Amino acid sequence: MNELIKVLFIGDIVGRPGRNIVKDYLGVLNASDNPYDFIIANVENASHGFGLTEKNHNELSEIGINCFTSGNHIWDKKDIYSYINDSDKLIRPWNYPKGTYGVGYRIFDIKGTKIAVMNFLGRTFMNPVDSPWEIIEKEIENIKQSAPIVIVDFHAEATAEKICFGRFCSEHKISAVLGTHTHVQTADEKIINDYTAYITDAGFCGAYNSIIGMGYEGSLKRLVTSIPERFDIDDSPVVELNAVSMNFDAVSGQAQSIERIHFIKDYSEVTA
């Protein structure tokens, strides 16, 4: 039997509450016997809900995350332009136009096995970007020659687009397609065509009683009045982490399993 590579994918980290619970969760894993060979996290909302500062990039790097994926909000903190080209972990959506800062995929060497991680934006209800479908068709064969395991963070709004993209990627022998962006973990984890691990949305890491990580009052005012309102991070004490755990065949890249993770911590009990 071929060796298995165990991967943890952490959903959108939202602000300080999200960073704290990811740090604590990984701390628990590392204090025992961390089963994961490779850890990925979506970080486009990690700095006060919008973008990623270099300080937070370095902070998250130090706790054992191997790769950072992102999305349309990765540009919201302007210091991103000063360090994205130097980061060896961070990727931005590949289907931005040619010449955009950063890279759309990276290949990592884990225990002698190459893992490629890609990031794409959806195009339904999103700002115009290049076609992810065309990029996959053009590039995937060359990438799979170097990396048997290929994992895609598909940062998209529409459920149907995500499901269809997952099916499309399975036909191209991509190991996993993991949805992000909508922040609500879906209950449809599966292996498509006996090859590709899939979930429509991995969920988010942030305040449990929030509006996808943001405060209730500001969200309510904006929705009731239709007037733009500043969103602030919800800092209530109960915080959740959402993620998926996956196993892959190290030789073929075929997904063997996918399992949802939902972890809740009450920080009021910690500080009481």
Q: What is the mean pLDDT of residues 230-235?
A: 90
- H, E, C per residue of the chain: CCCEEEEEEECEECHHHHHHHHHHHHHHHHHCCCCCCEEEEECCCCCCCCCCCHHHHHHHHCCCCCEEECCHHHHCCCCHHHHCCCCCCECCCCCCCCCCCCCCEEEEEECCEEEEEEEEECCCCCCCCCCHHHHHHHHHHHHHHHCCEEEEEEECCCHHHHHHHHHHHHHCCCCEEEEECCCCCCCCCEEECCCEEEECCCCEEEECCCECCECHHHHHHHHHHCCCCCCCECCCCEEEEEEEEEEEECCCCCEEEEEEEEEEEEHHHHHC
CA distance 89 to 114: 15
Domain ranges of the chain: 4-271
As a whole number, the mean pLDDT across the chain is 96
Average confidence (pLDDT) over 192-212: 98
Q: Mean pLDDT check: name the lowest of 72-86, 106-120, 214-228.
A: 214-228
Q: Can you give the pLDDT at residue 145?
A: 95
Class of domain 4-271: alpha beta
pLDDT of residue 269: 76
pLDDT one-digit tens code per residue, 108-161 = 999 999 999 999 999 999 999 999 999 999 999 999 999 999 999 999 999 999
**pLDDT higher for 227 or 179?**
179
Percent of the chain residues topping a pLDDT of 70: 99
Q: Per-residue confidence at 271, pLDDT binned at 50, 70, 90?
A: low
pLDDT of residue 64: 94
The rounded distance, in Å, linking the Cα atoms of 212 and 189 is 20
Q: What is the pLDDT of residue 228?
A: 83
The residues annotated as belonging to the active site are 73
Query: What pLDDT sits at residue 19?
Result: 98
Backbone angles phi, psi at 90, to 5 degrees: -85, 135
